[in-house]
Amino acid sequence: MQIVHVVRQFHPSVGGLEDVVAQLAHAQYAKGHDVRVVTLDRLFNAQGAGKLPKWERIEDIEIIRVPYFGSTRYPIALSILRHIRHADIVHVHGIDFIFDYLAWTAPLHRRKLVVSTHGGFFHTSFAARLKKLYFSVVTRASLRWYAGVACVSAADEALFRNVRARGACLIENGVDVDKFADAGSPVAKKSMLAMGRLSSNKRIDRVLAFLAAVRRIDPEWSLTIAGRPYDVSVDDLTGYAKNLGLTGAVNIIDSPSNEDMRALMAGSSVFISASAYEGFGLVAIEGMSAGLWPVLSGIPPFRHLVEQTGIGSVVNFDNVDAAALAFLGLWEKVAAHYDEARYAAMKAAAGYRWEVASERYEALYDSVLGRKSRAILDVPILAKTSTEAVELLDQEFAAGRTGIVIFANAHTLNATVADHRVQSILQRSIVFNDGVGVDIASRLLFGKSFPENLNGTDFIPHYLRNTTHRYRIYLLGGRPGVAQRAAQRLAAMAPQHTFVGVCHGYVPPEQRDHLIGDIRRSRADILLVAMGNPHQETWLNDCLRETGCRLGFGVGGLFDFMAEVVPRAPEWVRAARMEWAFRMMQQPRRLWRRYLVQMPIFLLRVVRQWIGGARVSSASSQ
C-alpha cells in the first residue's frame, strides 16, 4: 500500500518523534510498501539555518518538505494536500495544525486518516487550561475524521478515550533495540548515563541534584550526559554541575554519534531520566537494550514501563535525599546479581522491536481500509470468502487453539450495545458476517460489501464438506429431538466426520456440569451450539474450554433448518437477499420486532459510527 507519514519535524532534526517515524517508515518499506514522509521545510531550533531541500531521499525514505507560516507551536502548512493525493493511508504524527487541517479538509482530499497520539500537546504546563479546552472541543471534533487513533502509551489511551470512545487502540512505539544492543558495561560500575535531547522537559537539573545526593553518601558515583542541545545548552549544564559541586563527576558530550554512544554506554551500568514528559519512553528502552539498569521519574509512561517489564525503579526526584537512599539500597541488590539484571533488561527491551510495532500498525491500516476485517459497532468482522474461512478454521484447529466462531447479524451486533460482556466475547472470537443488515453497514462504513454472506446455516455444511480434518462433532441446542435429526442430516452431507453426541437446548443450570461432562467424555473436537444469540455466545464463552472441544460454533437456527422444523426460503429469495422477509412471514410473532424495530435501530447506530469516524475496534488494544 502507499503510506504517507506527516510529521512537523523530521531529518535532519533529531528527537524521539523523528526517530519513531523513521524507524516505522524503514520497517514498512522493508515489507514492500511505498512510503513517503511529508514534513516542514525549516527546523524549529536551528536559528538562521534557512530552508531545507524540498525533496530528499535518505536511504529508503522519500522526504518531501513544505513551507509553513505562523508559530512553531501551531505551524500552518497549507500545501500538504498536494502530497497525499494518491495515498492509501495518511498517518499523522502528533496533535497540531496538520492534524486539524487534514481532518477539516477530509471531504476534499478523501484520504483514509490515522493518527499516532504522541502525548497530544500536553508536553508542558504552558497554557494548560487553554489546551484542555481546545482538546475537549476542537480535538474531539477533528478526531471524527480519523478512522483510527493509535495511542502510543497507556497514558495516551486513557487520555484520548475521553474524547474518542471508539476507534482508539494502544500501539506502543517500537524501538531500534539493535542499535545499542549489549553495549553497556559487562561489569557493575558506579556510573550513570543520561541520554537524549538536551531540553528543559528532560529535567536534567534534577538528575544533577540527584547525583549530588547520591555522592553525599557514596562519592564514587559519576554521571555522563549525552545529547544534542535543544533549549538547554552544554554551558547551562556545566553551570548547574559546578553550582552543585559536581565538577569532575559529570561528563557532558555534545551531539554524540551512535558509535560515541556505544562507547559511553560501555562505561556505564545505570540509565537515568528525570523527565517531566515522555510520549512513550523510547530512550529508556534504548538504555535497557544496552543492558543498563533504568532509574526513572514517576511519569505515567515510565511507571507503565517498569510495571510491564519488572525492570528498573521509579524514584521521586522532588525529594533527592530520600530517592538517593532508596536507589543505593536497590543498587546493592542489582550489583550483587549484575549479570542477571543486565540480561533481564536486554530481554525486556527486545519485546519492543520495530517489527512487532510495524505489524500492529499494518493491522490498523488493514482495519481502516476494511481489507481483512471490518469493525462494525466495535466488533471486528472478518472479510473472507467461504474458501478463505474454511482455510482459517482449519489453521486454527491445526494450531491447537481453542476458539469461538460466531456468525454476526444485525440482531447479534445490537445485543453487544446493550451488553458489553457480549461485545467483549465477540471481540475475542472469530466473527463472520451474516445478513443484509451487516452488509449495508459494510458498504456505508467501508465503501464495499463483504466478499460473501457467511451465515451459519449455509456455511456449517460447507465447512464440514470441505475441511481437511476429520472431526468428532457434538450438537447442543434446539427442542428435544431436533439436534438428533440435524446430526443425521449433516452426517449424510459430510460422512467423513463422526457425530458423537447430541443434547437439546433446555438443560437447566443445575445440570450444566453434567452436560459439560457428557461432552468431554464424547471426546468431541468441535461443538455446534444452537441456543439463539446472545445465549449461545455466552454459553460457549463460559463452557467451551471445560468441554475439551477445540472449536465452538454458535449456529443459531441451523438445527431447525437441518431437521426441517422451519422451512428455508427458496433459492431465488436467498439470492435476492430477502430471506429475512420470508422468515418473518413464517414466524411473524417471533421475528417482527427483530426486523421491523431492531434493524432500523441497528442502521441508526451504524450511521452514528459513520459520523463518529471510527473504523477500528477497541479489541485492537487487547
Question: Which residues are within 8 A (CB) of 308 and not within 5 positions of it... i.e. 6 or more apart?
Answer: none
**Mean pLDDT, the chain, as a whole number?**
91
- pLDDT category, 152, cuts 50, 70, 90? confident
> What is the predicted pLDDT for the residue at 122?
67
What value does the CA radius of gyration of the chain take, rounded to a whole number of Å? 29
> What is the predicted pLDDT for the residue at 565?
79
The rounded percent of the chain whose pLDDT value lies above 90 is 74
> What is the predicted pLDDT for the residue at 354?
87
Residue 313 has pLDDT above 90, yes or no: yes
Q: What is the pLDDT of residues 50-68, one digit of tens each?
A: 789 999 998 889 999 999 9
Residue 270: strand pairing partners = 192, 293
Q: What is the mean pLDDT of residues 214-241?
A: 94
CA distance 490 to 555: 13
Number of alpha helices (DSSP H) and beta strands (DSSP E) in the chain: 27, 22
- Of 347, 368, 203, which is closest to residue 274 (Cα–Cα)? 203
CA distance 505 to 489: 18
> What is the predicted pLDDT for the residue at 173?
83
pTM of the model: 0.78
From residue 361, alpha-carbon distances to 116, 282, 283, 431 in Å are 10, 17, 21, 21
Question: Which residues are within 8 A (CB) of 621 and not within 5 positions of it... i.e. 6 or more apart?
Answer: 151, 157, 168, 169, 170
Phi, psi of 329 (to 5 degrees): -65, -40
Q: How many residues does the chain have?
A: 622
Instruction: Confirm if 556 and 532 have CB atoms less than 8 A apart.
Output: yes
Interhelix angle 535-547/512-521, nearest 10 degrees: 50
> What is the predicted pLDDT for the residue at 577?
75
Q: Show the CA angle centred on residue 338, arms to residues 336 and 341, nearest 5°.
A: 120
- Of 455, 397, 449, which is closest to residue 431 (Cα–Cα)? 455
Q: What is the pLDDT of residues 458-495, one digit of tens each?
A: 999 999 999 999 999 999 999 999 999 999 999 999 99
> What is the predicted pLDDT for the residue at 303?
92
Q: Domains in the chain, ordered, with CATH? A: 2-170 (3.40.50.2000), 191-349 (3.40.50.2000), 372-591 (no CATH)
CA distance 371 to 450: 10
- pLDDT category, 70, cuts 50, 70, 90? confident
- pLDDT category, 620, cuts 50, 70, 90? low
Residue 438 has pLDDT above 90, yes or no: yes
- Of 435, 405, 363, which is closest to residue 616 (Cα–Cα)? 363
Instruction: Confirm if 304 and 219 have CB atoms less than 8 A apart.
Output: no
Among 96-105, 204-213, 590-599, the range scoring the smallest mean pLDDT is 590-599
Q: Is 534 helix (H, G, I), strand (E, B) or coil?
A: coil
> What is the predicted pLDDT for the residue at 120?
80
Residue 127 has pLDDT above 80, yes or no: no
